[in-house]
């Protein structure tokens, strides 16, 4: 989803097409590199976690507010009345299954807690309000941008509009794509590390057969399980290509 922002972008002499095929190739390369470096330890990614995430969420909040100012009426969306209205609206073709998106967001948040042992309970308590408020402002900003540009001829016949990138002014769009990609890599790393931890615990509880567990660096609690790493790699890349 981060790499999709490169569509139709100009990077000096390089002009990216609107082809999803190119997005899949670049995404696959990024994923392969991420899984290949796991065996050497991921201390560099770990150290960049905090600064990159603060930059990313700060970026989301700023441009959310910039667009929110243009249509402050979007704040009415805070009212649960509109959520209930769309749930039972005839326009909502998927009915109650729209709640699946909410469940998906909940399980995404749950992934944060798989690494609580590594980052600490207090850190999650302190950072959660920042994450929640910045995402909230950004989604309101996206809604405000969509309402403000709904009638634009440039967007009238588009079926794959990405409001997150479209609402960013010219040069800031590439910055947004870069930060989104770094944030996605860090989030992926948290999931990979969490998977190692879960499997290690399962082996200790005799739920899984014994596997070779390596400690690739001097960083406390950092482990690497090659079997888990490459199973994750194969499944992830298969899902990327299957769903396009």
Nearest to 166 by CA among 143, 182, 188, 184: 143
Predicted pLDDT at 200: 86
Predicted pLDDT at 116: 61
Predicted pLDDT at 8: 76
In the predicted model, is pLDDT for residue 111 greater than 60?
A: yes
Q: 57-71, 146-160, 161-175, 204-218: which has the highest mean pLDDT?
A: 57-71
Predicted pLDDT at 216: 74
Question: 102 pLDDT band (50/70/90 cuts)?
Answer: confident
Question: 71 pLDDT band (50/70/90 cuts)?
Answer: very high
Question: 157 pLDDT band (50/70/90 cuts)?
Answer: confident
Total number of domains in the chain: 1
* Backbone φ and ψ of 93, nearest 5°: -75, -20
Question: 114 pLDDT band (50/70/90 cuts)?
Answer: low
What range defines the domain where residue 121 resides? Answer: 3-243
Q: Is the dihedral of CA 65, 71, 75, 80 positive or negative?
A: negative
Going from the C-alpha of 212 to that of each of 154, 200, 224, the distances in angstroms are: 55, 10, 9
């Amino acid at each position: 989803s981060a790499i999709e922002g490169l569509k139709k972008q100009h990077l000096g002499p390089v002009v990216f097409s609107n082809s999803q095929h190119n997005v899949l190739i670049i995404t696959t390369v990024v994923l392969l590199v991420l899984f290949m470096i796991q065996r050497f330890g991921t201390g560099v990614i770990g150290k960049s976690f905090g600064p990159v995430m603060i930059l990313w969420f700060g970026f989301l909040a700023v441009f959310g507010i910039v667009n929110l100012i243009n249509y402050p009426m979007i704040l009415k969306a805070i009212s649960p009345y509109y959520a209930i209205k769309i749930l039972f609206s005839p326009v909502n073709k998927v009915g109650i299954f729209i709640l699946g998106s909410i469940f998906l967001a909940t399980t995404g948040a749950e992934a944060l807690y798989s690494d609580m042992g590594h980052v600490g309970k207090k850190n999650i308590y302190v950072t959660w309000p920042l994450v929640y408020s910045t995402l909230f402002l950004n989604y309101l900003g996206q809604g405000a941008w969509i309402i403000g540009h709904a009638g634009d001829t440039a967007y009238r016949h588009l079926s794959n509009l990405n409001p997150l990138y479209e609402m960013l002014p010219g040069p800031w769009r590439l910055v947004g794509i870069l930060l989104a990609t770094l944030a996605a890599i860090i989030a992926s790393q948290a999931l990979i590390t969490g998977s190692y931890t879960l499997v290690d615990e399962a082996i200790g509880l005799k739920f899984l057969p014994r596997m070779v567990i390596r400690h690739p660096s001097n960083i406390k609690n950092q482990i690497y399980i090659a079997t888990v790493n490459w199973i994750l790699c194969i499944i992830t890349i298969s899902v990327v290509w299957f769903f396009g």
